[in-house]
Amino acid sequence: MTDPAVADARPSDPPTFAPARTTGSLSRRMILIAAAWITLLLAGGGFALDRVLASAVTRNFDDQLEYVLTALIVSAEIDPIGEVQFSREAADQRFLEPYSGLYWQVSGQGREPFPSRSLWDRRLAYGAPHQDRGVHAYDSSQFGQEKLRIVERDVQLPGSKVRWRFQVAQSRDGLDAQIAALRRTLVRSFLLLALGLIVLAGLQTVYGLLPLRRLRMEIVRMRSGQSSRVGGALPDEVAPLVEELNALVEHNERQAEEARRHAGNLAHALKTPLTVIMNAATAQADDLAETVIREARTMRRQVDHHLARARAVGRRGSAHSRAEVWPSLQSVERAVARLYRHVRIDVAGPKDLQVHVERQDLDEMLGNLIENAAKYGGGSVFVTVAAEAGFVEILVEDDGMGIPADDRVRIFDRGVRLDTGKPGTGLGLAIVRDVAEIYGGTVALEESEDLGGLLVRLRLPAATATA
């Protein structure tokens, strides 16, 4: 049976992380898109090229038939009985061979057709009459399995009132064989081109995404502790990502270092009061109760200070943090005026300024500064707000004794008070400085030229007013 104490002492299991959700391979997606686009373009281009080349071959085929047709018309004449005869025979021997695949025929409305010997016992269809004397070319399947390409023209020969139709036909086998060979060449060429382009797109994708793989390996090295930043030369498109990643890592390291420093400072601040309490308790001192109360108050001030700073550090990560200066000043002015009724507080400046600070932290900084001015001044406090070079500058002036130049740096240390005759913790200015620096601001002490006392210059990053 396992001892519960031993079981509790065992180290806990290492944390497990759920795998990141993915939407598929980016490389595969890019290659598929490239392949689809290449296929679409080549298919469209191949179809258009096939139409153009097939039309060109067919047109060349028709030109040859039209040449024969023109030769027939030129050599045709009307004999004494009104029939067509030729002054010379066609030169192509295929017109003399039966079913050779090359034919001619002359037909007239109401006349017997005058065919070539190659037609033998077949005749070409006369078809509908044409309204012009141009050459017409078309396909015909009137001979069954033998597909024909026919060119024809209606002509009225001299000495005849009949419109004669001259026709020259040739089997499409040769034409179709040329077109088929052309298409096979096109298909093979375009398939080879598509394959080459897809392979090229794949290589381009793999090479183009190589920096991302290098980035992943650099992050693995960072996680394993082998390096602290992502280094090396990277493409322009990846470099901004790496810069932001390194900035994020630096930000996290800075926050972790701040957390460690705060923990150490808090431990150091609490160590002395705890030691005093333990010594008083061990010695059974008569003033043990007073000592505990006094040192507990000291520890509470230290805890409050570090908690305020920790809250500001935690809120600093929000890029949308903003606060209006004027409402915060009015709120603090009303609160301080109730505590110090003899003090006159005047506020001047634009009322639409905003800063990149959380409202709670802005109230705390302004409250410390204005309360100190009312507490240590002579009765007049003047607050001025102004915008300057991306910052909002808040000046808090009083008519008191001021602070000597030699003490203006030391006064920011925790617990330092120049006037011990008045109640306080000595943490106000330290809190203001720490919170202002967390948000990228500054605080400085100067001498007021108008009132003669202390002037505190607080500068905070300005925020653009939103509609």
Query: How much is the pLDDT for 354?
Result: 93
Work out the percent of the chain whose per-residue pLDDT is above 70. 86
Domain residue extents for the chain: 24-208, 239-313, 320-463
**Residue 291 near residue 280 (C-beta atoms within 8 A):** yes
**Pair of tokens at residue 293:** 């109360």
Residue 243 vs residues 223, 235, 285, 316: alpha-carbon distances, Å: 17, 12, 60, 20
Helix (H, G, I), strand (E, B) or coil at 147: strand
Query: How much is the pLDDT for 422?
Result: 43
C-alpha of 380 from chain center: 56
Query: How much is the pLDDT for 400?
Result: 86
Query: How much is the pLDDT for 424?
Result: 42
Q: Does domain 320-463 have CATH number 3.40.50.300?
A: no
Give the burial string for 194-220 (b: 16+ CB within 10 Å, else e).
beebbeebbeebeeeeebeeebeebee
CA angle 386, 391, 394 (to 5 degrees): 40
Q: How far, in Å, CA of 438 to CA of 434, rounded? A: 6
**What mean pLDDT value characterizes the chain?**
82
Q: In the predicted model, is pLDDT for residue 427 greater than 60? A: no
Q: How far, in Å, CA of 170 to CA of 348, rounded? A: 104
pLDDT tens per residue, range 431-465: 788 888 888 899 988 888 888 888 999 999 998 76
Query: How much is the pLDDT for 18?
Result: 59
Mean pLDDT value across residues 250-257: 78
Residue 2: pLDDT band with limits 50, 70, 90: very low
pTM: predicted TM-score of the whole model, two decimal places = 0.52
Q: Is pLDDT larger for residue 252 or for residue 38? A: 38
Helix (H, G, I), strand (E, B) or coil at 371: helix
Query: How much is the pLDDT for 221?
Result: 82
